[in-house]
Amino acid sequence: MTRDLIRAGLLWLALTVVGEYLVVSVDLYPAAMSDKGEEIDHAFTVLMAMAVPVFSLVVAVVVYTILAHRVHGLPEQDGPPQMGRGTLPVAWLAITSGLTALVIVYPGLTSLGPVVGVEDDADLTVEVTGVQWTWLVSYPDEGVENVRELVLPVDREVKFEITSLDVLHSFWVPAFFMKIDAVPGRTTSFSLAPTEEGEYESNPMLRVQCTELCGLSHSRMQVPVRVVSEEEFASWVSEHGEDDPQASPDGVLTLDIAAKDLLFDVETLEAPAGEVFNIRLDNQDEGVLHNVSVYSDESADEVLFQGDIFAGLDAVTYKLPALDAQTYFFRCDVHPATMTGSLVVE
């Protein structure tokens, strides 16, 4: 029995050393790009380090028992009963109970406050609204409303106010390590400070993704995130503020399209190549959000124009830039599965 304990103990020690080395040397998670994300990343690392000795002990005992006391063929009788008494079971109970109590305090209670605490006096307030199937981002103090990207200044404390217009959604930015439900009729909130500049095009973790199954286009319910310098953020705000409406001037071709019962009334629009033109969207679905956006193709990877989302009953005229001769793809970003069409420019 003593020999078995020594051998199993040595195996446990070897597995523990290897496991702890992997914990401190292998980065299992994407880089945290927010102060709250760094706190969460640290908590996960501590929990992994605490779990390794317990897990490796179970593995060591099971593996050693299989290798040293395996029986060939069917056993003739049951093995001797194990009563669970003595020094080892008591020590196991005491050590694991102590680890449990430690985890509750650290990193549990010590990390919980900094992560879930909301900074009411944040430098910036961002309102995010979930709607099947996109996110509408507004900056109330800057006069920017219902844009389809999240742009944040680096190293600035940001307070997020999250809600939903229809069903339960969940707001998640993987690079920030933060997630919170978007609940209809209720505003949930959290705050954080982005710590690194970056954009979705070079880092897919910088996106707002819905993580609550919400219908047909749930997996496509995402918008890009950009973390920029304070100067670039100020420039972006000036471009998207209230003084930059999308309504078009007269004197150019206007293409009419209507939204009714979550469908467009036309499947093809035609416009002249090399000339600016208008698209007038008549939203006939009362209280339902629609828009028109133009993409290079059906993959919707390259956006050429993204119209403001608005609720019916109402109509909006968009000014589109001059496009080269080609067939493009247009859709409603809120209902990308049912409201699509082709824009033929020639």
Angle between helices 35-68 and 87-103 (to 10 degrees): 170
Half-sphere exposure in the Cβ direction for 322 (13 Å, CA)? 4
125 SS3 class: strand
Q: In what order do the strands lie in the sheet with 254-260?
A: 263-264, 254-260, 277-283, 314-320
Q: What is the pLDDT of residue 337?
A: 87
Per-residue pLDDT for 246 more than 60? no
Q: Residue 53: which pLDDT band, with cuts at 50, 70 and 90?
A: very high
Confirm if 328 and 343 have CB atoms less than 8 A apart.
Answer: yes
Q: What is the pLDDT of residue 245?
A: 43
Query: What would the mean pLDDT of 212-216 be, rounded to a whole number?
Result: 91
Q: Hey, what are 26's tokens?
A: 């292998």
Q: What is the pLDDT of residue 248?
A: 46
CA dihedral 240, 244, 249, 253 (to 10 degrees): 0
Phi, psi of 127 (to 5 degrees): -100, 125
Domains and CATH numbers, the chain: 2-70+84-116 (no CATH), 124-240 (2.60.40.420), 254-345 (2.60.40.420)
Q: Residue 120: which pLDDT band, with cuts at 50, 70 and 90?
A: confident
Least-confidence region, from 29-38, 80-89, 236-245? 236-245
Per-residue pLDDT for 251 more than 70? no
Q: What percent of the chain has pLDDT over 70?
A: 97
In terms of pLDDT, which residue wins out, 279 or 96?
Answer: 279
Report how far residue 270's alpha carbon sits from residue 184's, in angstroms, rounded to the nearest whole number: 39
Q: What percent of the chain has pLDDT over 90?
A: 65
Q: What is the pLDDT of residue 124?
A: 95
Report how far residue 5's alpha carbon sits from residue 82's, in angstroms, rounded to the nearest whole number: 15
How far separated are the first and last CA of the chain, in Å rounded?
Answer: 87
Give which of 133, 127, 291, 336 is closest to 221, Cα–Cα: 133
pTM for the model? 0.71
Report how far residue 254's alpha carbon sits from residue 248's, in angstroms, rounded to the nearest whole number: 9
Mean pLDDT of the chain: 90
Confirm if 256 and 232 have CB atoms less than 8 A apart.
Answer: no
Query: β-strands 222-228, 150-153: how paired?
Result: parallel
Q: What is the pLDDT of residue 242?
A: 59
Q: Hey, what are 128's tokens?
A: 């995010």
Q: Residue 250: which pLDDT band, with cuts at 50, 70 and 90?
A: low
Q: Residue 57: which pLDDT band, with cuts at 50, 70 and 90?
A: very high
Query: What would the mean pLDDT of 246-270 be, rounded to a whole number?
Result: 83
303 SS3 class: strand
Query: What would the mean pLDDT of 146-168 be, rounded to a whole number?
Result: 94
Distant-in-sequence contacts of 199-206, Cβ < 8 A, 24+ apart? 199/224, 199/225, 199/226, 199/227, 200/224, 200/225, 200/226, 203/175, 205/30, 205/31, 205/33, 205/173, 205/174, 205/175, 206/33, 206/173, 206/174, 206/175
